């Protein structure tokens, strides 16, 4: 409801508000509970207020079914790059029906809205002119996200790549595919995640509406190959296992330098963001070596207390901004492009003229719904996920 107050929301915890927007009941969840216990507490409360439920026929309704698939696969351009080689991003929709496909209609509007969200924050905002942004129309049989409502992509990576490739009939078979699938819903209908592949491909499924989760998944994981900086519930006291440490080392040594915003090193001279950490010009950026990252509570570290990659907070910390800059410039200028730290800093100076990075505060509390974050080779993708309530 529109007058519901803003309160911290915890994964699997049920909240009941009255018509005045007052919180009247909480069915609390913790790591010792399961969904059955939460549901039982919620049901007990409802019975105390409304009495025993009365038997009635199940609600039923007919789903609208698409009949015109003539625009399925139609390509439209959101923007063309004006600088560099042009980095191709393709937007697809899930749960949009034939009546949404008119020129300038709901489908195109939603894809453009998602594109604008992706480039809302720095440094992407200042680097947007290096991207080609396309949309490909995907006509779903139905629009509702309910049982029995058929969809078109269905979280199928191959199907997403098949649709995305329509934007360029001459696309080389080894082209890097970067795809964002936007669901036709303004509320969560599933957990958003990014499937990342060894060759740099990615598919992000945006199921929570167009919000900062899209930036976290597509811009953080997908394009820049950033690691999650949060700790998964229940892992607060778990030390980074040896096999995960080896995996993180392999990611760091990957051609694209994956997950460089998480490190098992913990000294100012050896941590991945040491150059920034020891640069006095970044002394007010909240940079440090904070234990707890890569979903583990111990033995692995992140660059700042909070950030986009920890709690979907609306900024990227300096270490992540550097990684993003390297990724975008390499994709835009080619592998022969050479990174220069001072040129990056000059770019940061320009960013600071047009934006204000929020203060970093240990006292700020955010509650996240978190999931295991891992990446995998193209042939066997695993999702990197971090949707937030």
The pLDDT value recorded for residue 363 is 35
Q: What is the mean pLDDT of residues 89-107?
A: 98
Lowest mean pLDDT among 5-19, 80-94, 232-246, 255-269: 5-19
The full 3-state SS of 170-216, as one line of letters, equals CCCCCCCCEEEEEECCCCCCCCCEEEECCCCCEEEEECCCCCHHHHH
> Which helix (H) or strand (E) segment is 93 a member of?
strand 87-94
**CA distances, 60 to each of 26, 57, 146, 147, 214 (Å):** 30, 9, 11, 11, 33
Residue 87: how many CA atoms within 13 Å on its side-chain side? 22
Closest CA to 296 of 379, 372, 362, 352: 372
Report pLDDT for 13.
67
* Per-residue pLDDT reduced to its tens digit, 286-298: 999 999 999 999 9
Question: What does the pLDDT average to over 20-25?
Answer: 78
**pLDDT confidence band for 29 (50 / 70 / 90):** low
What is the average pLDDT value for the chain, to the nearest integer? 85
pLDDT digits (tens, 9 = 90+) for 117-129: 999 999 999 999 9
Confidence (pTM)? 0.80
Q: What span, in angstroms and rounded, lies between the C-alpha atoms of 213 and 120? A: 12
| Of 364 and 203, the one with more pLDDT | 203
């Amino acid at each position: 409801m529109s007058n519901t107050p803003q309160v911290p929301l915890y994964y699997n915890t049920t909240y009941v508000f009255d018509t005045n927007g007052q919180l009247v009941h909480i069915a609390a969840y913790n790591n010792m509970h399961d969904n059955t216990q939460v549901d039982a507490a919620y049901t007990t409360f409802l019975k105390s207020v409304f009495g025993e439920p009365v038997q009635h026929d199940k609600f039923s309704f007919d789903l609208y079914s698409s009949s015109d698939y003539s625009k399925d696969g139609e390509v439209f351009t959101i923007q063309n790059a004006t600088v560099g080689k042009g980095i191709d991003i393709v937007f697809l929709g899930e749960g949009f029906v034939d009546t949404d496909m008119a020129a300038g209609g709901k489908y195109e509007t939603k894809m453009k809205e998602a594109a604008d969200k992706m480039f809302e924050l720095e440094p992407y905002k200042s680097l947007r002119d290096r991207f080609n942004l396309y949309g490909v129309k995907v006509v779903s049989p139905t629009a509702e996200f309910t049982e029995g409502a058929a969809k078109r992509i269905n979280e199928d990576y191959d199907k997403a790549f098949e649709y995305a490739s329509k934007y360029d009939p001459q696309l080389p078979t080894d082209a890097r595919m970067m795809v964002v699938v936007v669901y036709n819903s303004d509320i969560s209908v599933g957990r958003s995640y990014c499937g990342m592949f060894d060759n740099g491909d990615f598919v992000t499924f945006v199921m929570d509406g167009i919000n900062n989760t899209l930036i976290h998944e597509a811009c953080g994981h997908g394009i820049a190959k950033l690691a999650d900086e949060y700790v998964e519930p229940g892992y607060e006291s778990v030390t980074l296992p040896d096999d995960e440490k080896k995996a993180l080392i392999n990611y760091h040594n990957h051609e694209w330098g994956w997950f460089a915003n998480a490190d098992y090193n913990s000294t100012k001279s050896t941590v991945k963001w040491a150059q920034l950490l020891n640069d006095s010009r970044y002394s007010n950026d909240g940079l440090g070596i904070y234990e707890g990252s890569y979903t583990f509570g111990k033995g692995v570290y992140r660059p700042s207390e909070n950030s986009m990659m920890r709690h979907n907070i609306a900024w990227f910390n300096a270490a992540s901004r550097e990684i993003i800059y390297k990724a975008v410039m390499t994709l835009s200028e080619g592998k022969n492009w050479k990174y220069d730290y001072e040129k990056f800093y000059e770019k940061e100076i320009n960013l600071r003229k047009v934006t204000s990075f929020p203060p970093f505060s240990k006292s700020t509390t955010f509650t996240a719904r978190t999931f295991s974050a891992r990446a995998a080779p193209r042939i066997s993708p695993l999702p990197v996920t971090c949707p937030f309530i």
